[in-house]
């Protein structure tokens, strides 16, 4: 793995935790910087391989660690017979954090969640607030059925305006969407909707450019593509949890500062749903940022604006910790 930017911290490793070997990718410029753990999307979509696209600036102000979760990426390749549950992932996450705190001599870490990672991250900070300095969510999931319903209506509106008969036929074929389906059936329907949404740049699609980005990564292995193609197989229980998820069923009380960074063009996890939920949150500190001309992968769509937002959060939290 070539250290292209001559980072002080730049290495990958497998750490035996909670019965299996977990893949971690570490990147940063100073050991004194705050430590951020990135929780990827999916379930099963490890983002460590594409982190090189958006993360270079982050490493100036954070030490960033990517963890390929059980059932995802290089951890899945190393442990192909593992079938994670949500409770098991919470255990993994807790123990990963203990390992990182000891390795970097930190009392707390920053938790960053993207998409599916916001589900894991939001529940974790509620259960283990003393482990986390603050939480950042992007592509924040509040309620999966509401996400799909609102995203469906948005693309239908645009297809009607464009007289896009092909897309309208495909939307009609989805039936009463999202309907009452769960699990893999729900996931398969949502994948069909993503294709239609992708035509209007409302959602992320698994197109050739994304595969090419994987292959250009300094950490790429051919097995990463295999893990990506097979990610639904080990994650059936997580997909059941994912499609029924509703953060509003939890208490609105948080004991850690909460930050949302949302793409203004994100209709995969529609920002308008997150905005409404965010108003109800009670937290020591909270702030919501909207990134213009950015979708579900806001950190890739607008990397400079996204980094500017991270810098603001880092500076404000730095001032608070100095006072405390």
- Span 254-281, average pLDDT: 96
From the list 291, 261, 293, the residue with the least C-alpha distance to 274 is: 261
CATH code: domain of residue 110: 3.40.50.1820
pLDDT in tens, 103-125: 999 999 999 999 999 999 999 99
Domain span holding position 67: 9-142+206-323
Q: What is the predicted pLDDT for the residue at 206?
A: 64
On whether residue 4 sits in a domain, the answer given is no
Question: Which of the 8 DSSP states describes residue 34?
Answer: P
- Mark whether 42 and 102 lie in a shared domain: yes
Q: 22: part of which helix (H) or strand (E)?
A: strand 20-28
Residue 95 and residue 46 share a domain: yes
Q: Is the pLDDT of residue 208 over 70?
A: no
Same domain? 151 vs 94: no
CB 37 within 8 A of CB 101: no
Asked whether residue 61 falls in the same domain as residue 161, the answer is: no
> Which pair of tokens denotes residue 142?
């509040």
Closest CA to 24 of 95, 114, 116: 95
Least confident of 161-170, 303-312, 314-323: 314-323
DSSP element (H, E) containing 225: helix 222-229
Based on the fold, state whether residues 226 and 293 are members of the same structural domain.
yes
DSSP assigned state of 128: -
- Per-residue pLDDT at 320: 76
- Does 142 score more than 60 pLDDT? yes
For residue 278, tell me if it sits in a domain.
Answer: yes
Domain end among 199, 214, 232: 199
Q: Do residue 121 and residue 157 come from a single domain?
A: no
Listed residues 160, 180, 199: the one ending a domain: 199
Percent of the chain with pLDDT over 70: 98
Instruction: Look at residue 233 and tell me whether its pLDDT is greater than 80.
Output: yes
Residue 57 lies inside a defined structural domain of this protein: yes
Instruction: Give the model's pLDDT for residue 88.
Output: 97
Q: Are residues 211 and 267 in the same domain?
A: yes
Question: pLDDT tens, 43-53?
Answer: 999 999 999 99
pLDDT interval class at 238 (50, 70, 90) = very high
Q: Which whole number is the average pLDDT over 241-268?
A: 95
Report pLDDT for 321.
Answer: 61
Within this chain, do residues 153 and 237 fall inside the same structural domain, yes or no?
Answer: no
User: Using 50, 70 and 90 to split pLDDT, how confident is the model at 216?
Assistant: confident
Whether 47 contacts 66, CB under 8 Å: yes
Regarding whether 210 and 117 lie in a shared domain, the answer is: yes
Backbone angles phi, psi at 267, to 5 degrees: -115, 15
Least confident of 154-163, 218-227, 255-264: 218-227
Tell me if 2 is assigned to some domain.
Answer: no
Instruction: For residues 102 and 134, state if they share a domain.
Output: yes
pLDDT at 323 over 60: no
Cα gap 43→148, rounded to integer Å: 16
In the chain, the number of structural domains is: 2
156 part of a folded domain: yes
Please report, rounded to a whole number, the percentage of residues in the chain having pLDDT higher than 90: 79
* Domain annotation covers residue 86: yes
Residue 291's alpha-carbon distances to 9, 89, 111, 204, 310, in angstroms, are 29, 30, 20, 16, 12
pLDDT value, residue 324: 54
Q: Is residue 49 part of a domain?
A: yes
Whether the per-residue pLDDT at 224 is higher than 80: the answer is yes
pLDDT at 95 over 90: yes
Compute the chain's Rg from CA coordinates.
19
- Whether 72 and 89 map to the same domain: the answer is yes
Same domain, 88 and 163: no
Does residue 184 form part of some domain? yes
Residue 253 pLDDT level (bands cut at 50, 70, 90)? very high
């Amino acid at each position: 793995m070539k250290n292209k930017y001559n980072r002080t911290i730049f290495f990958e490793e497998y750490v035996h935790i909670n019965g299996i070997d977990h893949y971690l990718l570490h990147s940063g410029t100073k050991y004194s910087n705050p430590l951020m753990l990135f929780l990827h999307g999916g379930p099963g979509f490890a983002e460590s391989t594409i982190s090189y696209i958006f993360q270079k600036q982050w490493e100036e102000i954070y030490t960033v660690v990517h963890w390929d979760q059980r059932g995802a990426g290089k951890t899945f390749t190393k442990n192909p017979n593992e079938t994670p549950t949500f409770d098991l992932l919470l255990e993994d996450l807790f123990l990963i954090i203990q390992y990182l705190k000891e390795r970097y001599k930190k009392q707390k870490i920053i938790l960053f969640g993207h998409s599916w990672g916001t589900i894991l991250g939001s529940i974790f900070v509620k259960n283990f607030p003393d482990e986390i300095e603050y939480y950042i969510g992007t592509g924040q999931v509040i309620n999966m059925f509401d996400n799909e319903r609102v995203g469906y209506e948005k693309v239908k509106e645009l297809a009607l305006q464009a007289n896009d008969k092909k897309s309208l036929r495909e939307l009609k074929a989805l039936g009463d969407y999202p309907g009452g389906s769960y699990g893999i059936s729900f996931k398969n329907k949502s994948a069909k909707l993503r294709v239609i949404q992708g035509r209007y740049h409302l959602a992320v699609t698994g197109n050739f450019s994304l595969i090419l980005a994987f292959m250009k990564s300094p950490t790429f292995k051919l097995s990463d593509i295999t893990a990506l193609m097979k990610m639904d197989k080990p994650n059936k229980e997580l997909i059941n949890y994912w499609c029924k998820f509703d953060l509003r069923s939890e208490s609105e009380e948080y004991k850690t500062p909460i930050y949302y960074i949302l793409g203004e063009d994100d209709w995969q996890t529609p920002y308008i749903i997150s905005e409404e939920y965010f108003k109800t949150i009670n937290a020591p500190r909270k702030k919501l940022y909207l990134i213009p001309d950015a979708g579900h992968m806001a950190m890739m769509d607008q990397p400079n604006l996204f980094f500017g937002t991270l810098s603001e959060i880092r500076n404000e939290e730095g001032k608070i910790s100095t006072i405390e």
